[in-house]
Amino acid sequence: MSTAVTQKRSFGAVLWDYLTTVDHKKIAHLYLFGGGLFFILGGLEALVIRIQLMQPQNDFVSAGLYNEMLTMHGTTMIFLAAMPLILGLMNAAVPLQIGARDVAFPFLNSLGFWLFMFGGLILNCSWFLGGAPDAGWTAYAPLSTTSPGHGVDFYVIGLQIAGAGTLIGGINFLVTIINMRAPGMTYMRMPLFTWSSFITSVLILFAFPALTIGLFLLMFDRMFGSAFFDVSLGGNEIIWEHLFWIFGHPEVYILILPLFGVFSDLFSTFAKKRLFGYTAMVFATMLIAFLGFMVWAHHMFTVGLGPVANSIFAIATMAIAVPTGIKIFNWLATMWGGQIKINSAMLWALGFIPTFTIGGMTGVMVASVVADYQYHDTYFVVAHFHYVIVGGTIFGIFAGLHYWWPKMFGRILNEKLGYLTFWTFFIGFHLTFFIQHFLGLMGMPRRYWVYLEGSGLDTGNLISSIGAFFMAFGVIVFFYNIVYTAVKGEKAVDDPWDGRTLEWATASPPEHYNFKQVPLVRGLDPLWVEKTEGKGTMTPAEPLGDIHMPNGSFLPFLMSLGLFIAGFGFIYHMDYNWAYILLFGGMAMLLGCMLTRSLKDDLGHHIPKEELEREAD
Amino acid sequence: MSDHSLNPEVMPNEPEKATLEGKNKFLGFWFFLGGETVLFACLFGTYIALRNSAAGGPTENELFGLELVFLMTILLLTSSLTSVYAVYHMKNNNFKKMQLWLGITALLGFGFLACELYEFTHYIHEYGFTFRSSAFGSAFYALVGFHGGHVTFGLTWLIALMIRNAKRGLNLYNAPKFYTFSLYWHFIDVVWVFIFTVVYLMGKVG
């Protein structure tokens, strides 16, 4: 509300606002904050790894601590940094892009965030409580079932809680995109970011339950003495690998597809052209998602599933290169003949294309079973997945942040600092990971603590470590840029990029109800349609009237806190009897909050028409 | 939405989908059940992989008795039918009859749960067949127990809904709640049909 902007609010009021908010734009802020925090932690862990490997037989960290570092680096970056940052972008942009006032389930949206946050916290509490998980981010049994101490227990409980939050977020976006689109916003008029968020949500919905079950089995084996992975009682460890990768492979597409959407929106905006091959892009995304479920066993080529199974999975894997290639060519064709404007956001998008293409090419290499026996568990694979995850996901997140920052915070990120971040990070990235292809081909295995002198790995590792510091520098500049922009940044207008989609048709940052009147969509790139017809603003689809908005609630925070407390109960109930108090107390808190939510009517509130008219002045 | 519009003079044909909130709940719940399907599919896969790993303990054929399982199946399938009657009366805006049939549904559900508890204690005490005794035991209790947990949660949910709304009757705010419960209950029923087939029938015959 306009009065709220002018009044300075106390810190406590702001904090309480964020703890109870169900507004998708504020939840986006929370996701970005949480994801950013864990991104720093994961980055520090990566630096420790690179310092340890900087020279042969280094003793910067012990072998055990090194295992914890590499496990937590992978787990943190995937589940606690990349996922929430993506969900943050989705929260920030998707409802605006479809012309909605909020998501379908604002309460669940908030619950999803707090579950992620408390899951991440519990995982990182392990550092202070006897040691972090050390069985790799894949936690293969029996390494994970026999790992001493509580490290892996923290992994199980933390990911279980955070994963539940992600699943909730996925369902929320599916329903939002199906039910809440503005009049005229047909499926084939949705911006590519909305499309890819939609398809990603399908992946989340069908992939995360497999992780949930895998984690439950691991939890039962570790905490309740069951025998799923205990061979002496008839168990089978390969079940974990299957469940983990049935989740894990779709997960990598969950990580990349939304950013494909970001790049598509960016290329058409900054080339001032309609996206080339829109329909092909949509169907390529669907095809990637579909094939993404059919290829999990390519992570298990060396397990010994047999030549037939290996061949089928290899061919399915290589098939994914086709829709991905369609996308690459469509992006290039979008820029072809366009009026290209290069800024920080566009730089990340331009840097993405060659980087990701290299990652895709090595992807086809490791998809070949025969060759994979050579690549498996070497630095070649490490280089491959960093090229796709950093070169695709992280570049995409940076691009999306630069692109939507004005919409989210009302200020434009500083361009000079943006350039500095991009170039140091981009050069540092290739310095770190390109050489790792060759280290892998020379036989350096991943996850090893030290390597011997004179095995030809010294220079490569030194170069790789130097690159890591360039990346760290770039990230520091980016965080400085955030602070600089918040203090001195240039105020953004509603439509700073001469945009094409609906989010640029509302204020920067938007009012909490997004659109005073829901806009009428008359084509693909709805705002651009109005601009080309000389009008420049959206036609309202409804007369000005009362707006119905959901009420804030503190329950999502309390529910997640309940699970957080119960999580410690689960972890320690084997050692101490008092832990049962935490276990049952936490669960009672969760179920009590659920019951309250179910039984107490919450009808939301109305913003009266008169107030909206006053604000127009 | 004002209270008046949630209590219209004439209830619409499909009260569970008459409001945007109702539509969202309806669709969201279907998606949730989609996720639940994967959840149970993974447990079924694990069970099929481990069902012959009795590690020298009792095997499927020695444990299972189809008489009790038959009774449980009848109870749960009937409860699914009675929940259909309840939704039928919801659509006719007959709150009392809806509550009656929901009550019968709950009773049948409790009957099922009692049988299952008896079954588990029987296995544990007569055969020493526990969650820890073999991989088969772990997989059996995980799958069937997960289903039983779903039944327990559903019954708690149902009773909470019935008590909360006992005095105020049906409106457009709580109709989606009753309806999503019935979806959940059917889903549990479908899962049981698969458990009956894969665990018990295949265990006795296969």
Residues 180-199 of B with CB under 8 A from A: none
Contact assignment for A239 to B46 by CB distance below 8 Å: yes
- CB spacing of B39 vs A217 below 8 angstroms: no
Chain A hits for B168, Cβ within 8 Å: none
Mean pLDDT per 10-residue section of chain B, whose length is 206 residues: 66 87 96 97 97 92 93 97 96 93 97 97 95 96 97 96 92 93 97 96 87
> What is the per-residue pLDDT for A3?
44
Close Cβ partners of A557 (under 8 Å, ≥ 6 residues apart)? A19, A20, A110, A114
Helix pair angle (A63-75, A106-125), 10° resolution: 170
Ranges of H-type helices in A293-343: 307-319, 321-335
Could you tell me how far CA A518 lies from the centroid of its own chain? Answer: 29
How far is Cα B190 from Cα B47, in angstroms, rounded to an integer? 17
* pLDDT for A9: 80
Q: Report the distance separating Cα A300 and Cα A248, nearest Å.
A: 12
Q: Where are the alpha helices (DSSP H) in A450-604?
A: 458-488, 526-532, 555-572, 579-599
Q: How many separate helices (H) and strands (E) can be counted in chain B?
A: 8, 0
pLDDT tens track for A295-345: 999 999 999 999 999 999 999 999 999 999 999 999 999 999 999 999 999
The secondary structure of residue B133, as a DSSP letter, is: T
What are the tens digits of pLDDT across the range A386-444?
Answer: 999 999 999 999 999 999 999 999 999 999 999 999 999 999 999 999 999 999 999 99
- Cβ-Cβ contacts under 8 Å for A543 (sequence gap 6 or more): A517
Using DSSP's 3-state secondary structure scheme, residue A540 falls into strand
Task: Evaluate whether A362 touches A323 at the Cβ level (below 8 Å).
Answer: no
> Could you tell me which residues come within 8 angstroms of residue B52 by beta carbon, excluding any fewer than 6 positions away?
B59, B136
E-strand spans in B7-142? none
- DSSP code of residue A392: I
- CB–CB of B132 and A104 under 8 A? no
φ/ψ (deg, to 5) at A519:
-75, 155
DSSP letter string, A10-24:
PHHHHHHHHHH---H
Placement of tokens 């911006």 in the chain = A191
Secondary structure element (H or E) that encloses residue A265, with its range: helix A238-270
- pLDDT value of position A7: 60
Which tokens is A302 given?
């060396």
Dihedral of alpha carbons A122, A125, A126, A132, sign: positive
How far apart, in Å, do the first and last CA atoms of chain B sit? Answer: 57
Whose CA is closest to A72, among A132, A153, A120, A141?
A: A132
Distance CA B159, CA A405 (A): 47
Residue from A227, A225, A226, A104 nearest A169 by CA: A104
What pLDDT, in 10s, does the model give residues A557-571? 999 999 999 999 999
- List helix spans (H) across A501-544: 526-532
Burial A408-421 (b: 16+ CB within 10 A, else e): bbbbbbbeebbebb
In chain A, residues with a C-beta closer than 8 Å to the C-beta of B157 are 598
Q: Does the distance separating the beta carbons of A214 and B42 come in below 8 Å?
A: yes
Strand partners, A548: A606
Contact B135 A228 (CB under 8 A): yes
Q: How many CB atoms lie within 10 A of CB A483?
A: 10
Residue A229 C-alpha, separation from nearest chain B C-alpha, in angstroms: 8
pLDDT tens column, A184-239:
999 999 999 999 999 999 999 999 999 999 999 999 999 999 999 999 999 999 99
Where does B65-205 sit in CATH, by number?
1.20.120.80
- What's the ipTM? 0.95
A2 pLDDT more than 50 = no
**Domain spans in chain B, listed from the N-terminal domain onward:** 65-205
- In this prediction the pTM is 0.95
Query: How high is the mean pLDDT of chain A?
Result: 95
A14: CB partners within 8 A, 6+ apart: none
Within 10 angstroms of residue A370's Cβ, the number of other Cβ atoms is 9
Contacts of A166 in chain B (CB under 8 A): none
Q: Which residue in A101, A160, A213, A542 has the most chain B C-beta atoms within 10 A of its own C-beta, making it the best mutation to test that interface?
A: A213
Question: In this predicted model, what pLDDT tens digit does every residue of A333-348 receive, in sequence order?
Answer: 999 999 999 999 999 9
